[in-house]
Chains A and B, each alone.
Chain A
Amino acid sequence: MGRYVPYLLFGLVGLVLLGIGLFSGRFVLYLTMRVMLLSIFALGYNLLLGRTGLLSFGHAAFFACGSYGMSLCFLHVTPNPLVGVFAGVCLAVLAALIIGFFCVRHTEIYFAMLTLAFGMMVFSLVWNLRSITGGDDGLVGIGRAPCLGFPIARDSQFYFMVLVFFALTVWVIHRIRSSAFGLVLAGIRENPQRASFAGVSVRLYRLAAFVISGAFAGLAGSLAAMLESNTNPFSAHWTHSAEPVLVSLIGGLQTFSGPIVGSLIFVVLREIIERFATNWMLWFGILLLVIIMGFRGGAMGRIEAFFARKATPRGEEGRP
């Protein structure tokens, strides 16, 4: 019975999201879409950070590749949204392959710094190539043509496209995590040397995790461009790379739903704080401090540990 609880919970969440889509006003719709997009970004990213143990500060670049790839496709090739999303994800995957190839040879600090450098290179390209990317203004006028015949011009309609991609992401990430590949990634995080002595090419698997997480970043970016109708060059800045890290940490690095819960907390808290004060960064800084100093399992980590302790008295903590 206990094994089905997660599935029931996800079913419940799905119903709630459907309900929001059918009955909410524009503001709640917009907010929920932002949560879903950030979740897509963070779920993919956490495959690299939580699972494989690699901290990248350059994934904002892949998000931006998604945004700009999709937008350029819309403006110059075809308004078809699925083709646009595909174009955005492909550009992100290409960038992740190239950048990842150079970065996965290194670990820890050097990996973080190299990804930071490459990510900022993408940022400076986006900023400087005004004629292509619109420079600091970004690309504007990104519309939403019907998707497979369904109109998505209104937010209330576009919501369902986002919901579908969100559900797809959740499903794919779940499959990856419970696959042999997912287990090997955990092994690489725990002990890369031993993993290579198990016959695993550590570099190849790290690159795969890098590219997969880059693809989801690109997906999030493509959908974000459609949501906002424009692109933002700062979406490639390294400080934007910190968002999925923050979000995964808040939710719980080693859990599956952590990135989703973290995204919810992040977006909602930020909205609340921005309503009443201008210093949301201060409060997030404090929240981050609290988590790192005391609650490193994150929100979901604590909840899962609590249930695990109730289920097995010996304590089966920390599922990989």
Chain B
Amino acid sequence: MSTPLLQVDHLSKAFGKVVTANNLSFEIHAGQITSIIGPNGAGKSTLINMLSGSVSVDEGRVFLKGKEITHLPTHRRVRLGLCRSFQVVNVFPALTVYENIQIPVLSQAGKAHHFFRSLSREVKAEERVMEELERVNLVKQAHTLAGKLSHGDQRLLEVAIALAVRPFLLFLDEPTAGMNPVERAEILENIRRLSAGGRTTFVIVEHDMDIVFSLSDRVMVLYRGEIICDGSPDHVKSDEKVRECYLGEEVV
């Protein structure tokens, strides 16, 4: 059994009296698309925040490809290959779309600290940026300010920035929220294609059950900070506990 991409051991977190993560333990292996679902307040955001370094861990440990990252600052985790996108659009608004992608590309290529070399000399980086833009179909808007994009395009940019660092493990936080059906299909196709490409493993937090069950190889159900079910989509669909906790929420 090869080293799991991500290993989570007994992760716990409480905000005051509210327990948002209760002794969570699981593994993520490369190549599978995993979805994390659960009603609001289940602790999904906290989990992503802890794994990406935005929020501190009360107890437990996290390992990325065997290396412990529990207390590493965010940028170090990104350099090791972990990244995330955000539910609410979180781009660089006063910079152009091109520059939004340029920053993670340069950073990943180790060129971000060059303070004397003109940007126009970074040819390889330029090629990579155009690649990333083509991938999400934003080439035409390359020189538009990110803040002035349409909402759907901003969401595409949102995911594109996360992809641009070429992560091994990418957490997508409700990537299709607010997208119209066309955009949604496009982004799903992208995820499927990228996942098949073998470099990036996706973990998606979603509320839309169609997406979850059509896209995922594995589904984890979070409820009140605990994993109440973990397995293939069919297994989860027929689980009693899952049905119970979703009564009143989405009907599976």
Contacts and interface: CB of A to CB of B under 8 A. Distances in A.
A–B contact via C-beta, under 8 angstroms = yes
Interface of A: 175-176, 178-184, 186-187, 190-191, 193-202, 208, 314, 316-318, 320
Contacts of B107: 184, 198-200
Contacts of B84: 197
B103 A196 contact: no
B216 interface: no
B148 to A, nearest CB: 9
B117 interface: yes
Q: Which secondary structure characterizes the binding site on chain B? A: mixed
Chain B interface bracket (under 10, 10 to 19, 20 to 34, 35 or more): 35 or more
Contacts of B144: 314
Contact of B118 (A175, A200, A201): A175
Nearest to A176: B115
Interface stretch (B14-22, B71-79, B243-251): B71-79
A182 B114 CA distance: 9
Contacts of A193: 54, 90
Interface of B: 52, 54, 73-76, 78-79, 83-84, 90-95, 99, 102-104, 106-108, 111-120, 122, 125, 143-145, 161-162, 164-165
B103 A200 contact: yes
Contacts of A199: 75, 78-79, 104, 107-108, 112, 165
A195 B113 CA distance: 13
Given A191-B90, A197-B84, A180 B114 contact: yes
A180 B93 contact: no
A317 B148 CA distance: 11
A190 B91 CA distance: 8
A194 B92 contact: yes
A318 B94 contact: yes
Contacts of B99: 183, 186-187, 320
Contact of A197 (B83, B93, B94, B116): B83
A106 to B, nearest CB: 16
Contacts of B94: 186, 190, 318, 320
A182 B116 CA distance: 9
Nearest to A189: B94
A295 to B, nearest CB: 18
Contacts of B111: 180
Given A184-B107, A194-B92, A201 B75 contact: yes
